[in-house]
Each structure stands twice: as C-alpha cells, then as structure tokens.
Amino acid sequence: MTAGAQAITADDRPSPVHAMAGAVLKSLREELGGLRCVHLDLDPQGEEDPVPLLLADMTGTPADTEVARRGGRRLVRRLAPLPEPALPTDPPASDGFHLLSGGLGGVGTEIAAHLLRTPGTRLLVLGRTPLPPEDTWPEHLAAGGPPAARVEAYRRLRESGEVRYARADVTDERQVREAVAAAAEHWGAPLVSVTHLAGALVERPVAQLDPATWRTALDAKVRGALTLHRVSADHPVGSFVTFSSVNGYFGGAMNTAYAAANAYLDALVLHRRALGLPGQSLAWSMWRERGMSSGYRLAPLTEARGYRVLDTATALRSFDLARTLDEPHLLIGADRSVPWVRSHVLEPVRQVRRLAGRLALAEGTDLGALYRSAAHGTDGDHWVLRAAGGGERPTTPSADEAGERLRALESRLAGLWRDVLGRDRVGPDENFFDLGGNSLLLVAAQSAVSREFGCELPVVELFAHPTVRALARHLASLTGPGAAGAPPAADPQAPPGTAGTGPSGLDHAKERAQRQRAARARRSARHGKDQGHA
C-alpha cells in the first residue's frame, strides 16, 4: 500500500520511488507460482480511513495488480490505444546542444548517429568508460575487442557531425555538471535536450537480489535520471526523453529489479510534466541484436508474449514518431493483437443484449436462412441451418470418436497443468498466466507435456496456445486424428524433437511460426517506408 504512487490526473505528481512497487509485484507474480499481489495506492491528500479500503481489496479475489482509490472510486490501471488522430507536440528548440547518456553502446550509437543526421545537431555523449588517447587508436583497432568497438563507433559519429564524448558517471551530479559546462563553453550554446539511455540489465531470481545487486540494477537508470532531472533544471531544456522498457508496466520473471527501474522512469516523466517540465518515457520491447538484447536466444518467446523484436530501421522510425506525440508514456513494440498484451488494454464497454435464441450450425450451412428468419421475427428458439444445394449431413461415428479423443486429450493436459500450477482445478478455457503461470512454470509445463506425449513441444507453442482447449486442438491438428487420445511415442532412434518417422507436426509448426514472424516483419518494413509506428 502506498499513497501518491499513481498519477490519476494531469496535475498529480506521482512518487517515482513508490511507483516501482507495481512493477515489483507484477514481477513477483510472474516468478512465484500461485502468488497473488495487489499494489493499492491511496490519495496522499485523502482523509479516508485506509483500513476499510485495504480490507475491501483483500476480501475478494485480486484480479488487478495496480489499484488506486480516489474519492470513493476504485480505479484500475490499464493501457489505452493512441488517440486518433494522435496529438502532435511542438519540436524542441534546436539552438543548443543535445545530451545523450549511455555511452557508445549498441542502441546509444544508433540513436546518436540518427540524431546527427539532422543538420546543425551538436551532441554530447556521456559514458562511464574512458576512450583511449587518440594517438593509440590504431593499436586498439588492430587488437579488436570492446575498446576497438567504442573507438570505431566514436570515429563514425565524428564523421557524421559535431559530437563530443565525455567520461562521466551519470549518477554523479558533479561529473555531469562539469561535462555539460565544458560542452556549453566549447559550443557557446546551452543544453536544450536530454535523452537518457543509461541502464543495466540484471537477470536474476528475486531471492538472489541482495542490496548490492539492487544498486547495480537501479543506479544508472534511477539515480542517473534523477541527476539529469536536476541538472536540466538549470538549462532551457525543451525535450527530456527516457528509454524505458515494457517490463516497467508488465513486470517480468527474473527481471524484478530491471522492471522496477523502468517503472521509476515512467513515473518521473509524469512528475516532471505536473511541474510544467517536458518529459516523455519510451517503453521499448526489444531492439534486434542491439544493446542489452545482443545474443539473446529467447526472442521467439518474447514475440509470443506480444513484445515485438524491432529491427533498427523500424525502431528509429518509431522513435521519430514518438517524439512528435504529446504523450508522456508510450509502449513501443507491444503487439495488442496478442492475448497477453490485449488483456491489459482498455476496451470500450459492450452493450449487453438479450438472448434471442440458440443456434446449431450443421456442416456447410446456408447463412441466408438465419437472416431471413431474423428478418421475419421468427419466434423459434432453435434454428438448424443447412447447406444450400445439399442435404443435412448426419453426425458420423468417426466425428463422435474424434470428439471423445479431443476431450480425453484436454483431460490429460488439465491434469498436467494442475500439477505444474499446484491447483485443484483447471478449466479448459482458463489462461495459463491468469492461473498464476509465469515464464519459469511455462518451461516446467513444456517439459511435462513433452514427457507425457513423447514429443518435443517448443515453449513458443505454449505461449501461442495458453488454454487447455487451445493447446489440445493444436496438438491434435499437428499429429493427426489418432493423436487426440494418445500421441505417438517418440522413436528411440529418432533425433530430439521428432516423434515417429519423418519430421513431426511440431517441427512443421515451429517452421510455420517462423515464417509468420518473417512475414509480419516484411509487412512492417513496407508499412514503415511511409510512416513510423509507435
């Protein structure tokens, strides 16, 4: 329970420190099976007794992780689509220089080079790692390694425009002020914009997050942002952009500290805007093979959850578009067509309609009969539609048998999920993640399914089919009619990932999923030629 962590109106000044609680609890829910968490935020100016409010949320089943109580109302945090049309913002003043924190890393170098493409841009890059003396650069380039990569990146930036690199720890206010003062003197111009990219990714179970590890995870993003917030107050800064992550909103198993740090950035920009200062937090999904995602081997799982892996060109177009929008917090790369993301998006209320009748659809039906019956106000409560030009096909014994096999498969899968999730009951249409599942338990479920049915089921398929019914139908469709009751056992001589003879249906499914992702990427690239998307 906190007071003032959430900004309910544009005038509210949320506490960035307290705002981290929601990200921590969402991450705990992901990592620790069966744990239910609620971040209850109260009005800092309210006079209501907090005990009844707390008890009211504790007595029910907590379905919402972030709840705010204001003026007798219970408010739940949700995502919203961008307004149509999105509101543009005035471009910041350019008669000055721009500061970019984060050194010469993968994403930082791409953003720096992108900014320098605008004629007249002067850029100050801050990093903790010093560059070697320029007269030794040929030796470092010949030796290779990280120093050579930084030298080469800086050389390319200098060829693109006016850029200075200053060794400064972004968490040290004195060092940052000295670097800014030196750049202002060098260019004879003030600081006019800040882009904060510095950060550290600490992937570790929450039980292993000791104080030193927390400090490592939070320092660059949290203390660095606070330092830049203070330093920029002394300059005519018209743009203050932080690079956050979707984990700041959704949380993430093994990423509790990282999620908390990004939630701080999201709240800090709201706090700044309430003070009349510029602020925008861009919460990214993932840049393909750039920065923290370099070498990441679980990208298919990330995309299955709804976090798109963005190529550099797409990410830069999204960056350009985001900066034209008067929106404080944008999630970039969150695909709301995927169930996990869509479940967090605020949808318009649908009108409840009266049940008019029950409808049984025979195979190959004439839908015109339905429309004609409805138009004439038929009072019957049971319609059977038949195919035009053909007779009704009776249900065959083979169809009954297939249905029985499918129900048997659902029952076996439900039993596996009950064991993995530690629950007494699992309904066929209940979502794995709504039942307390997380990324770690998903791996356990994948192992259980593969062991039970003698096949190697990719984890990405469980992400794509998060209910017992959907997964049962998927398995049945992959391995044929006889698999609904008992999928074929794996051939002991066959290589891993196959069942029976020849490539398994699961292998084909994985290839199909890869082709679909490639097709989406091509469509996105074609769409992005004319406009960016955030």
Per residue in 225-284, pLDDT (tens digit) is 999 999 999 999 999 999 999 999 999 888 999 999 999 999 999 999 999 999 999 999
- How high is the pLDDT of residue 518? 64
- How high is the pLDDT of residue 379? 47
- How high is the pLDDT of residue 196? 97
CB-hemisphere CA count at 13 Å for 231?
28
- In the block, residue with structure tokens 């439900």: 414
* First-residue to last-residue Cα distance in the chain: 33
- How high is the pLDDT of residue 519? 59
* Amino acid identity at 441: L
| C-alpha–C-alpha distance, residues 468 and 434, integer Å | 13
Domains of the chain: 2-76 (no CATH), 97-345 (3.40.50.720), 405-522 (1.10.1200.10)
- How high is the pLDDT of residue 517? 56
Residues whose CB falls within 8 Å of the CB of residue 386, separated by 6 or more in sequence, listed in order: 362, 365, 366, 369, 392
- How high is the pLDDT of residue 502? 37
Phi first, then psi: what are they for 34, rounded to 5°?
Answer: 80, -10
| C-alpha–C-alpha distance, residues 438 and 511, integer Å | 25
Give exposure, 473-497, as e/b (b: 16+ Cβ within 10 Å): bbbbebbeeebbbebbebeeeeeeb
DSSP string, 332-373: ESB-TTSHHHHTTB--PPPPP-----EEEE-SS--HHHHHHH
- How high is the pLDDT of residue 532? 41
- How high is the pLDDT of residue 155? 92
Below-50 pLDDT ranges, the chain: 378-382, 385-397, 481-510, 527, 529-534
| C-alpha–C-alpha distance, residues 459 and 439, integer Å | 9
| C-alpha–C-alpha distance, residues 26 and 344, integer Å | 13
